[in-house]
Amino acid sequence: MNNWIKVFGISLCMFLSGNSCSSGADPDAIILDVFSVPAENCLQIQNVLNDLAMDVNGILMHNLDLEQDTIKENVASCVNALIYRNELTSKLDSMVLDYGTSYCSSNGGRFKGKVIVLPQAENLKLFSVGFFDFFASGYKITGNISMKINGDIAGRDFSHHSTDLSFLIENTEFRFTLNEYNSTYIFINDEEGNANYMDDIYQFTSSFSGETPDAISFTFDNQIGLTYAYSCNQIIGGKASFVLTDVGNGSFDFGGGDPTDDCDNVVKLIGETANTEFKL
């Protein structure tokens, strides 16, 4: 993300002055940065959203019926996973993932702060996911996500939707805003009845659109399906498109979807002006 800070002034100057800036830098390198730096940030934002979705689903949705007030099983030691119920009715009131004030690793994500999950329906099919002083892998996240349980089994199929997410790069003033975000997750692991989510595999589609810190529109889109494996704590397969308006477009390749061969955290970006690799 430091690359974004370095290229921000160059890219802003190029877009506002019709490429008339004189920086002395290699023009090919500038073109690569103007496209690949926001592409990398959008890739990491997608990864953050996925890590968050899988932590909320894996830890909380598997324990909606838990009578205790703290979830301990399959939870990282740095996470306090708390369940609050109405004292009179015993109905679920709220759930909190408290990652503390320094970065905590959980299911592949790096988080600090709190995620607050509130039920929006008595049948526990719809939830609001909000944030309190929450950071994920170098971004401060604000806004809310609507989480819907699809089907009859919590912890399996679900979807996310939001229209007001903001990602501020930590210790900077540079902010990526999302004006639309949608993801749908389908459980595909074949171990029926296994309550331990740690070996689950998911297929999911994801799309979001928004603006970079210098108000350039972008879209990230996958409608065929990406593959996520809890055993790898990462996306391990599928492709997604990235479009930076009036700049260029490219494709992210996450791998072939094999939990052994593709569990390397490497994502390839193939574009008109940029061909490179990133680490999730």
pLDDT at 18: 37
**59-68, 87-96, 185-194, 253-262, range with the lowest pLDDT:** 185-194
Whether the per-residue pLDDT at 228 is higher than 80: the answer is yes
- List pLDDT tens digits, range 102-119: 999 999 899 999 999 999
Residue 276 has a pLDDT of 85
What pLDDT, in 10s, does the model give residues 246-271? 988 999 999 999 988 899 989 999 88
Q: How far apart are CA 145 and CA 142, in angstroms?
A: 10
Express each pLDDT in 158-202 by its tens digit. Answer: 999 999 999 999 999 999 999 999 999 999 975 555 567 888 999
Read off the pLDDT of each residue in 72-82 and give the average, rounded to a whole number. 94
Q: How confident is the model at residue 220 (pLDDT cuts 50, 70, 90)?
A: very high
% pLDDT > 90, the chain: 66
Average pLDDT over residues 115-135: 96
Structure pTM? 0.86
What's the pLDDT score for residue 195? 60
* Residue recorded with tokens 């975000």: 181
Question: Is pLDDT at 9 greater than 60 in this prediction?
Answer: no
